[in-house]
Amino acid sequence: MSRIAIIGGHGKVALHLSRILSGEGHDVTSFIRNPDHVADITDTGAEALVLDVEHSTTAELAEALKGHDSVVWSAGAGGGNPARTYAVDRDAAIRSMDAAAEAGIQRYVMVSYIGAATDHGVPADHPFFAYAESKAAADEYLRNTGLDWTVLGPGTLTEEQATGLIETDPAGADTQTSRGNVALVAAAVLELPETIHRTITFKDGTVDVVDALTGE
């Protein structure tokens, strides 16, 4: 079994993911900023590590990541403050990639969103602009590293029950994706070498997660 670090461990997707991975017997470390959230993490079967990634150096992140086999980035500033969005969703994410390499970790999974791209088209005066810019920059940086990366692009997130059924490369405006299904996809790609160096967009659908990811 693997040692897996989840950065942004108290997010809803991350909590689902840590429960899935711990249930599969993996050794999971969830990085969180708020010590008040430790109990929520341990309830999932993961170990909580309190570390403010926004203000941590690459060296500090690398030290915390040592001994892990893979990293899942599921952190975010939560919007509302552009400066903080750039600091977390872009800058801290990029530092975590450099830290993974420094710590000798090859596997890195980025939880992004379906519209993330350098040509995202979000107007500069739109509240979503800082997030769109940050995710585009972080995803592009990751693709140019030497890491074994996978970028996940789920559609609009919902609280619907996970079904384990998705559709990849969805077209059209309806891209509803349950957070539970995002977690199932993240867990699956960690076990599937054929998802390395792929950007995978998806939504809730009718095909089993593994079959959808492997094209079976």
- For residue 10, the domain's CATH number is 3.40.50.720
Q: Name the amino acid, one letter, at 25.
A: G
Q: List pLDDT tens digits, range 145-160.
A: 999 999 999 999 999 9
Is the CB of residue 6 less than 8 Å from the CB of residue 18? yes
Within 10 A of 105 (CB to CB), how many other CB atoms are there?
Answer: 22
Q: What's the domain count of the chain?
A: 1
Nearest-5° Cα angle at 77, 148 to 50: 75
User: Which domain, by its residues, includes 66?
Assistant: 3-214
Q: What is the pLDDT of residues 169-193, one digit of tens each?
A: 998 889 999 999 999 999 999 999 9
Strand 198-204 relative to strand 165-168, pairing: antiparallel
CA dihedral of residues 26, 105, 107, 131 (deg, nearest 10): 110
Q: What is the pLDDT of residues 63-80, one digit of tens each?
A: 999 999 999 999 998 877
pTM higher than the cut 0.85: yes
- Model confidence band, residue 105 (pLDDT cutoffs 50, 70, 90): very high
Residue 216, pLDDT > 80, answer no
